[in-house]
Chain A
Amino acid sequence: MKLLLLHCTESGQKVLARLPQIGYRLPSTVRTMELKCTGRINEELLLSSLEDGFDAVLVVGCHRENCRYLDGNLRAERRVQRIARMLADAGVMDKKVDMLLVGPDEGAKLAARIAAFLAPGAEPAAGAETASVPAQSGGKK
């Protein structure tokens, strides 16, 4: 199970940075990509990530009413829900998108969600490093 974490520079980045403090290292099958705000997320980014090999995308943004850009997290949530619904309705069962709203001190919540995404037995691997991937490119603009 390859998982992509799309996170914002605020709560998303901060909660990731604090994961080692709770003794959690990201598994090697998890990649991260930082965006200024999750409101930057669009359909193409989510879908091209899935098409390019990720089995799941988890968008990690700030709690409601805590977005630095007012409502970027809520717009992202609606887009994620739409894509999740599209995939389910299309019968695509082996790909998944979801969103998690967190605060900087909610590392345990993020770790639990990551564990839930990963296949049984794929518990967080000790010592694995967080890697970044470049932004996906779409088709014709």
Chain B
Amino acid sequence: MIVAEQKPIKDIVAMIPEASSLLVVGCDTCVTVCMAGGIKEVNALTSVLRMARKDIARIEGTSVERQCDREFLEELEESVQAADAVLSMACGAGVQMLSDYFEGKIVLPALNTLFMGSNEEAGYWMERCLGCGDCVLDLTGGICPRTRCSKGLMNGPCGGSEGGKCEVDPENLECGWNLIYNRLKALNRLDSMMEIRPPQNWSTSHDGGPRRLIREDVKL
């Protein structure tokens, strides 16, 4: 899922322009699971804003299934048109889609989008995927070296690995390549580590503008 966190409340309060009505819109997908922008967070933020911005006559909150999906935005038509500004509690993709869909409306971000990751335990999320566009998980026992190794090395571990920990944060950070070694050993696939991998080809990552995916087979 996409992991995000709420911006500092004073930044949110400051970014909202003078208006007579504000609509806060959450997203029921990723940011609900990471407890940053679901309906609960919308209700909490709306309450705080109503107390902090008494100059705004009407502040209401709602949420949609997915803000990054055009088909779910239609239901917002009436409430968005009735508002002077919209505060989105979705990830950056959702904010941009909302802004595109309701062109002419001020759409503001309430969250900082952080990474694609997983929920490790209550209150703890960790990055798992960079979205590099060239997955090598078949070679590394299902552990991504580009994400889990602090240096993104394709051949590891490096000299900064000690006791299974990474020198970048020896107390809290596992060495990604130590994890890969242990996993491959358990899978009896250590031979996969003997092959020298070429440097990462980053041209499939964020390169040449926004990445696009076009599939003729699913076009209508």
Residues of chain A having any CB pair with chain B under 8 Å: 42-44, 47-48, 50-51, 86-87, 89-92, 95, 138-141
| B130-164 CB contacts (< 8 Å) to partner A | none
Contact B50 A141 (CB under 8 A): no
Identify B62's interface contact among A48, A51, A86, A140, CB under 8 A. A140
Would you give the shortest CB distance from A114 to chain B, in whole angstroms?
22
Identify A89's interface contact among B10, B44, B49, CB under 8 A. B10
Is there a chain A Cβ closer than 8 Å to B63's Cβ? yes
Would you give the shortest CB distance from A78 to chain B, in whole angstroms?
10
Contact A86 B51 (CB under 8 A): no
Is there a chain A Cβ closer than 8 Å to B111's Cβ? no
Contact A90 B63 (CB under 8 A): no
A16 to B63, CA, bound (A): 40
Using A139-B39, A140-B39, A140-B63 as known contacts, say yes or no to A90 and B10 having CB atoms under 8 A apart.
Answer: yes
What are 28 contact pairs spanning A and B, CB under 8 A?
Answer: A43-B40, A43-B43, A44-B43, A44-B44, A44-B47, A47-B48, A48-B43, A50-B47, A50-B51, A51-B47, A51-B50, A51-B51, A86-B9, A86-B48, A89-B8, A89-B9, A90-B51, A91-B10, A91-B52, A92-B48, A92-B51, A138-B40, A139-B39, A139-B42, A140-B39, A140-B62, A140-B63, A141-B39
In the complex, besides A90-B52, A92-B48, A140-B61, 8 extra interface pairs with C-beta distance below 8 angstroms are A44-B44, A89-B10, A90-B48, A91-B13, A91-B52, A92-B52, A138-B40, A140-B39
Residues of A within 8 A of B46 (CB): 139
| B67-125 CB contacts (< 8 Å) to partner A | none
Residues of B within 8 A of A50 (CB): 47, 51
Interface size class of B (residues with CB under 8 A): 10 to 19
Q: Which residue of B lies closest to A43 (CB)?
A: B44
A89 to B8, CA, bound (A): 8
Residues of chain B having any CB pair with chain A under 8 Å: 8-10, 13, 39-40, 42-44, 46-52, 61-63
Q: Which residue of A lies closest to B46 (CB)?
A: A139
Would you give the shortest CB distance from B10 to chain A, in whole angstroms?
5
Contact B9 A140 (CB under 8 A): no
A48 to B44, CA, bound (A): 8
Residues of A within 8 A of B8 (CB): 89
Would you give the shortest CB distance from B52 to chain A, in whole angstroms?
4
